[in-house]
Amino acid sequence: MDLNGKKILLGVTGGIAAYKSCELLRLLQKKGAQVRVAMTEAATRFVAPLTFASLSKCPVYLKDGAVEARPFQHIDFPRWADLYLVVPCTANAIGKFAYGLADDPVSLCFMSCTCPRLLAPAMNVAMYNSPAVQRNLQTLRSFENTYVLESPAGELACGEVGSGRLMEPAEIVSFIERLDERRKTKDERREMVEGGSLPLVGTSSPTTPSSGGHPRNAPAAPLASDSLPEQDPSLPGHGRTVLITAGRTEEAIDPVRYISNRSSGKTAVALASVFLANGYSVEVVAGPMEAEFPGGAAVHRVRSACEMHRAVMERLSGADVLVHCAAVADYRPKDPAESKIKDSRSQLVLELVPNPNILRDSVAAKKPNQVVVGFALETDHFAEHAQEKLHKSGADALLLNAPVAKDSGFGFDNVNYALVTPGEKVPEMQMGSKVELSETIVDFVNRKLEERHG
């Protein structure tokens, strides 16, 4: 869906993740969309309506009315919209939507809405996994024109760990931009079902779980069951696997000290999300990192470069695509101390040895039809260094990124990047989100696989 000029109604319910709806609103506006906001009374306790009114430049639809409120906002707002988002969507709102209850602005708009509806649940893991919430989510997935984003696992605001996190705003925007493809595919599949030529996957009745599953028995992707990429044979990644390296590596000096590189893991998470949205089965070999992966990715945890090298080489043969996104330490201490080195304030000399080059070794061992993409983080002489690394590695492409611009790079959502390919001039670097960077890589991979497989 091209968001430029689209009218989007944003429903905000009462959860701690409500503050992320402000970021979502701004991202939608940057894409050219017009946004109006409806809020439950509980949501106003987390974010003031004035914040959304200021950002959207439009009165917020509230239970007690709004400035310049009209008596039929519950009809006018959804009738105005091309798309209705409920972000975050609490367990209470999910229950209301499933059973047709409408007693606040967000549920009233859901009831009278005829445009596509997208819900992003966010709550405590115990609530999310409860039979009632899961049953209600299944009911909503069976509704026409309704899409439910599953909640990725990770650390929650309450300190617990598990499913129930709100999908990141940039990932939600990426999902929306591909919504037309999903709706077209879903309609085509429904026509085939009604014609008796294809069983419908993922649109089971509220009381019967869908029997559709992942072709490789990996964890479910963080998307609605009626639009799961791995269940959709028309998507370019259907039946294919991508292996992504992520995070950083830590090379032990002693049991408490180590050598490492900077990496939050945000780029790898964006990559996993976009590959999932394209129908790929996603495996990740991840070193230490702060960002959390969506639930559809199978994540294998490692710590050192040698552990990452071993894990990649073990899984190499089962992947169609490899993307080396991890910040791997080039060197490690030759003889790590078995106990903590005592602080004597005297000089300490560390002898370092090179770590294995995971990118080069995977290229050397790859099959002819596999696609390998590497990363090159540079701080100067960008084009020369990127071309040199691409030539030495033998990869199909190299994503050049430079974390030197203000408010970009490590830990930020934006980065300066360019995709470098053999025999081509290094393109002008551009500033964009890590989701946009990921889309650039996935589009290249899709084209490359199409060329090789026909």
| Helix (H) and strand (E) counts in the chain | 14, 19
How large is the angle between the packed helices 266-277 and 434-453, nearest 10 degrees?
A: 50
Calpha distance 284→355 (Å, rounded): 20
Q: Is 90 left (phi over 0), alpha (psi -120 to 50) or beta?
A: beta
Q: Pick the closest to residue 144 from 108, 186, 92, 175 (CA basis).
A: 186
Beta bridge partners of 62: none
Report CA torsion sign: 318, 320, 325, 327: positive
Residue 11 has φ and ψ, to the nearest 5°, of: -95, 130
Burial of 328 by CB count in 10 Å (0-12 exposed, 13-18 middle, 19+ buried)?
buried
pLDDT < 50 positions in the chain: 67-69, 71, 184-231, 406-409
Contact 353, 305 (CB under 8 A): no
pTM above 0.75, yes or no: no
- Tokens 């060329």 appear where? 451
Q: Pick the closest to residue 74 from 59, 57, 61 (CA basis).
A: 61
Instruction: Encode burial over 280-299: b for 16+ CB neighbours within 10 A, e otherwise.
Output: bbbbbbbbbbebbbbbbbbb
Sheet holding 146-148, edge to edge: 34-39, 7-12, 83-89, 117-121, 146-148
Q: Pick the closest to residue 365 from 296, 312, 443 (CA basis).
A: 312
Question: What tokens were used for 213?
Answer: 């599953």
- The fold adopted by the segment(s) 7-181 is Rossmann fold (3.40.50)
* pLDDT at position 181: 59
Burial of 101 by CB count in 10 Å (0-12 exposed, 13-18 middle, 19+ buried)?
middle
Strand, helix or coil at 336?
coil
* pLDDT at position 225: 35
Length of the chain: 454
Superfamily of domain 241-335+349-453 in the CATH hierarchy: CoaB-like (3.40.50.10300)
Residue 17 DSSP one-character state: G
* pLDDT at position 170: 87
Cα 334 to Cα 4, 251, 348, 349, 352, distances in angstroms:
55, 10, 14, 11, 5
DSSP H or E segment with residue 315? helix 305-315
Count CB neighbours of 112 within 10 A.
Answer: 16
* pLDDT at position 183: 53
Strand, helix or coil at 374?
strand
* pLDDT at position 193: 35
* pLDDT at position 264: 83
* pLDDT at position 223: 38
* pLDDT at position 79: 86
- Does the fold of domain 241-335+349-453 match that of domain 7-181? yes
Q: What is the pLDDT of residues 423-451, one digit of tens each?
A: 888 888 888 888 888 889 999 999 999 88
Active site residues: 158
Calpha distance 43→54 (Å, rounded): 16
Residue 445 has φ and ψ, to the nearest 5°, of: -60, -45
Calpha distance 318→337 (Å, rounded): 37
